Each structure stands twice: as structure tokens, then as C-alpha cells.
Structure 1
Amino acid sequence: MTDTIRNRIREIIAEQAMLDVEQVTDDATPADLGIDSLGLVDSIFALEEEFDITIPFNANEPEKSEFDISSIGQIISAVEKLVAAKA
């Protein structure tokens, strides 16, 4: 299931950034992928809808949120935790 979640997150982010999914690597930051703040919000909404989760509104403030958006790998990890907590 984790690989399925990981792959689907990459697909969603690639779609939002208009990139090939192979370009969406764990160490890439949203900025590296050309995702601006509006694109990041769109990506977050898409992830919430896909996985039926709620991402904290302050995810862009790492000191105030456990949801880290600093890299794609961190986003994947945070979404996996929210999905696991929901189960």
C-alpha cells in the first residue's frame, strides 16, 4: 500500500507541475519542480481529495506543523502518516 501511496503522490505532483512523473524525485523541492505557492496549494487540495485526509493549514510553516513540505520525500512521508492515522 505504501508504494501505491508514494506512486500516486508523485503522479499528482507531476500532474500539477506539468512534468513527467520520473522528474518527481524524493529530494526535489516544490521550487525545484517549478511549483509556486498557488501550485502547492492546488497540489495539497488534490492530495487531500485523493486520500481523504486533511493537511494542516500551516504546513508551510515547519516550526508550527508536523506536515513538512520542504521536499517531495517529506511530503510523501507526511501523507503516509496521515493516511495511516486515518486507518
Structure 2
Amino acid sequence: MNVKDRVTRIIAEQAVMDVAEVTPDKTLDDLGIDSLGLVESIFAIEEEFDIQVPFNANNPEDSDFDISSVAAIIAAVEGLVAQQSA
């Protein structure tokens, strides 16, 4: 399972949706994920990939971790995974 599939699965679990409904163009708002769900998603992503996500839950718009869409989250996680293995 690649990064995209694993991140999509985590987000789908938080949204209580089928994985097929979690498309790259969707935002977390589109999926009904609130701030608590976002934080839980971040924790699950960190655990799944053994990475540290640079995310400020108190001020997400000032974060270095792009949460603007599912595609942005996938790209950010892919970058963190690549940094870790470098």
C-alpha cells in the first residue's frame, strides 16, 4: 500500500466514509472532518508513517503542513516520508 492509499484510508476512517468517497480534490470540510478529527488524523498519520508532522493544532493556517485538500495532505506526507528516509 503506497502513501496515497494509506493517507486516504486514514482520512476515510476519520470521516466515517468509504475510501472511494475520499478523492484528492476534497477538502476536510467537504468530508465533514472537524478540528478534532483533523488532530486525530494527524496523530494517525504520524503513527502510520513514524513521522513528525509540523502541525500547530491551535493555529493550523500558520502550519507548514498543508491541509487544504486530500491531495495536499498526501503530498505533504510524501515529502515528510522522503525526508525521513534521506
- TM above 0.5, yes or no, is yes
Letter in 1 for 2:9: E
Contact 2:10 2:45 in 1 (8 A): yes
Matching residue of 2:32: 34
Matching residue of 1:86: 84
**Root mean square deviation, CA, Å:** 1.3
**Unpaired runs of 5+ in structure 2?**
none
C-alpha distance in 1 between matches for 2:78 and 2:56:
18
Matching residue of 2:11: 13
Letter in 1 for 2:48: E
C-alpha distance in 2 between matches for 1:77 and 1:57:
15
Q: Which is bigger in relative contact order (C-alpha 8 A, separation at least 6)?
A: 2
Give identity over the alignment, percent. 63
Residues 65-76 of structure 1 mapped to structure 2, 5 A cutoff: 65-76=63-74
> 1:31-87 CA deviation, whole Å, 9 max, x = no partner?
0000000000000000000000111132712xx333100100000000000000000
Instruction: Return structure 1 stretches of 4+ with deviation > 3 angstroms.
Output: none
Aligned length: 83
Residues 35-54 of structure 1 mapped to structure 2, 5 A cutoff: 35-54=33-52
Contact 2:55 2:64 in 1 (8 A): no
Letter in 2 for 1:29: T
State the TM-score, normalized to the length of structure 1. Answer: 0.89
> 1:9-35 CA deviation, whole Å, 9 max, x = no partner?
101110111000011111100000000
**Unpaired runs of 5+ in structure 1?**
none
Contact 2:9 2:19 in 1 (8 A): yes
